Each structure stands twice: as structure tokens, then as C-alpha cells.
Amino acid sequence: MRNAFVRALTSLAEADARVMLLTGDVGYKIFDDFSARFPGRFLNAGVAEANMIGVAAGLALGGLRPFTYSIAPFVTLRCFEQVRNDLCYHNVPVAIVGVGGGFSYGPNGPTHHSLEDIAIMRSLPNMTVVCPGDPVETELAVLAIGSHQGPLYLRLGRAGDPVVHIGRPPFRIGRAVTVRDGTDCTLIATGGMLPVAVEVADRLQPERVSCRVLSMHTVKPLDGDALEESCWKTRMLFTLEEHSRIGGLGAAVAEWLASSGLRRPLRCFGTEDRFSRYCGSQTYLRQCHKLDAVQVAGAIARWLKKEETPCSPTR
């Protein structure tokens, strides 16, 4: 996703001279071309993320469109007060780009695991939260951010993220992408869990389970229309996220269900309310936290058997 982000940002900067990139002392090699092509529009703020956010706010108030870039926990948790007071309070168009969502930096341990960022970002007034599901969605998201009004958090994976979309799907901030249709259950995935959701759907096919798959790339604002359609088309909802079950996608969908008047069983796949005791690759950590396709598919099959009696949506 990082390379896709840089490609799209370069295209955006070519078309809009207001675009600037600020980095928190990371990403030197991947930004070499950007800094050479746009002198004066690339700034290394150093290991000072709070200051970087304040500078970006000033640039935005001056009419520019800054993108701030760093490792996800550092650009959200470390400078939360500045994000809240400088960006959200003034409702300025600054994109906060957090690379390494979830367990992308797995070997670095809990300090680099990003499992709370969606929750804290979606709690802020005026903040939009976008978590692309693959490199294709990443490029489309960056281009869409170019005309977005207000602060936005863009949560990315790292390197080697698989491509899900063969072509360019219709992409709009706040609107989910239907990856495939189905009749038994809906898999609602955000961020890097989209490829896992597709693999889960493939694994359940031989068991005659038809899965509708949604890429909920925008966690805030949530696409209520897509969720309502899923409630009518399928009998159970599952959310998949590489994030704590507290405050993330699953919590957002549960909040929507509680206020919608629609009744559908919901099960949420995410991490427990604790720091990871494990250290290793992203693949290994997903297995440890039961977020790999094999374990998710098995759990869904068991839950569907328990929910054999349909529960009709009511208003």
C-alpha cells in the first residue's frame, strides 16, 4: 500500500500545487522522487509528530493541502491532542497517513502494533476515517482525498499487501465497495482484512455458504445503505478488522444496528482487549489472534449452524 500511496500522491501533486507532504522522519527512499520533483513541497519534521501536526494545521489554514506521514501509532496516539485541537477543532483539510495498521510492524512488538487508532480517530468530531482494503483502493482513496473537506485519517498497510480488485471499482469516501454478492451472510471487512474476507468466502463455498463481501473502506462515516441492504439480503453479519474489537469497525456496525431498528445477528472478528503477548510476522500474529482465513471461516461456519432459524429484519 505504501507504493500505491506514493504513486497516487505524486499524481495528485502534479495536478494540484497546494499538495504538500510532511514526514515524521520515515520513508526516505520511497519519497526521493516526490521531493526531487516538488522542491519546497516535502518537509521532514523529524521525530516530532506533535509539531508536525501543528505545522500541517498552519499550512492548511494558509490554503495548502498537507499530507502528514508516519507509522500509525506515532501519528495518532503520540499527537492526539494536536490532532484534536489543531485539526479537528478548526476542521482543516489535513490528511493524516498512518502506515503499518494492525500487525504490519509485528516484529517490533506492542509499541508498533496499531490496534487502537481507528477507535480514537473515529471518536473525534469532523474526522473521517478511511482504511483501504488493497493497493487499488489506496490509490483511489488518495485521489479522492484531494477534494475532501476537513481532516481525514488514512490507515495503510505496509508492503506486500495483496491486490483484491482486478479493475478500478467505483470508489467514494463514505460508500462501501461490494466485492461479491451472497445470500447467507455478509462479511464486512476494513483495511488489510479484505483479502482475508475474500479467502474466507472462497473457503465457505464448498460448504454451500454464500457470502456477500463488503469492503468497508470508510469506517467513519459508515455506509448505512450498504449495511441495510446486507440486512435484507443475508441473515447474519460478520465484521473483520485487524484492530481491537473496542471502538473499531465492529463497534461502529453494532452502533448502527442498535439505532437502525433492523435486527440481524452480528459477530465481530478483532483483537481482544489486551496487548499482544506474541511477536513475529503479521501472518503469525493473525494466526495467534484467530484472524487468519482458516480460523475465521471455521468460526463463521459454526455460528451459521447455530443461527439456522432466520430472523426477519423489522423496523
Contact 186, 214 (CB under 8 A): yes
Rounded Cα gap, residues 291 and 300, in angstroms: 12
Spatial strand order of the sheet with 211-215 comes to 177-180, 211-215, 185-189, 237-244, 266-271
Q: Rounded to whole angstroms, what are the CA distances from 287 to 156, 277, 294?
A: 20, 13, 9
Separation between Cα atoms, residue 71 and residue 285, nearest integer Å: 18
Query: Active-site residue among 14, 49, 81, 255?
Result: 49
Phi, psi at 83, each rounded to 5°: -60, -45
Active site includes 308? no
- In angstroms, rounded to a whole number, what is the distance separating the alpha carbons of residues 125 and 263? 28
Contacts of 79 (CB under 8 A, 6+ apart): 49, 50, 52, 53
Q: Starting from the edge strand earliest in sequence, which strands make up the sheet with 152-155, in order?
A: 42-44, 19-23, 65-71, 95-99, 152-155, 128-130, 218-220
Q: Which residues have a catalytic role annotated?
A: 49
